[in-house]
Chain A
């Protein structure tokens, strides 16, 4: 059974702080990992993907992957109230479909 686990939160951070979101996965065959943002009642929106060990930065977002530990994280720097949403971690193995975690609800307090 392929599982992607996330802390459901809620996670609250003050505006301007760093938000750290974590994700673990069970399938060692997983090859690439995705972070989606989902506002309530809306569809998932792709923020970042990563498939190599290490860090990948895109603006205020940094994704980190450690395949040995089966761990993926997303850091959001200078958090803004508009970042308040549920963040979904997803993993893809040899098949193309994504396995999603249950999401972490983030609230950025003004």
Chain B
């Protein structure tokens, strides 16, 4: 069964450093998302991406965050200058259907980001 692949599975970084989290979507999926989950808290939406541009973004997704699809396959989330509060599990999710309401979102296995 096709799956969303995320790398790395764990990332440890120093505060202020840049990190790039990578995702390979399921091949025929068109909609891409980043969510995050701080330990013990809700899964929170960060950003959605369609047709090579951001569709929606949350208040969390400030100027320190950016997304791109550099080579038509990978989908990346960059955090320019990490803060302690960025420590979380980051999930990439992708979907195929274009009909809102019937769209099934499939999550990758996540990248656990630890900012020291």
Is A95 close to B, CB under 8 A?
Answer: yes
Contact partners of A46 in chain B: CB under 8 A:
104-106
Complex CA–CA separation, A97 to B109 (angstroms): 19
User: B107 within 8 Å of A by Cβ?
Assistant: yes
A92 and B100 form a contact (CB under 8 A): yes
> Which one, B44, B48, B107, contacts A43 given CB within 8 A?
B107
> How many of chain A's residues touch chain B, expressed as a range?
20 to 34
Is residue A25 within 8 Å, beta carbon to beta carbon, of the partner chain? Answer: no
Residues of A with Cβ closer than 8 Å to B? Answer: 31-32, 34, 42-46, 49, 51, 88, 90, 92, 94-103
Interface contact A97-B33, CB-CB below 8 Å: yes
User: B75 at the A/B interface (Cβ < 8 Å)?
Assistant: no
Contact, CB under 8 Å: A43 / B42: no
Name, among B55, B101, B103, the residue most crowded by chain A CB atoms within 10 Å (CB to CB).
Answer: B101
Determine whether the beta carbon of A99 is less than 8 Å from that of B45. yes
CA distance A49 to B104 in the complex (A): 8
B41 to chain A, nearest CB (A): 7
How far apart are the CA atoms of A89 and B87 in the complex, in Å? 24
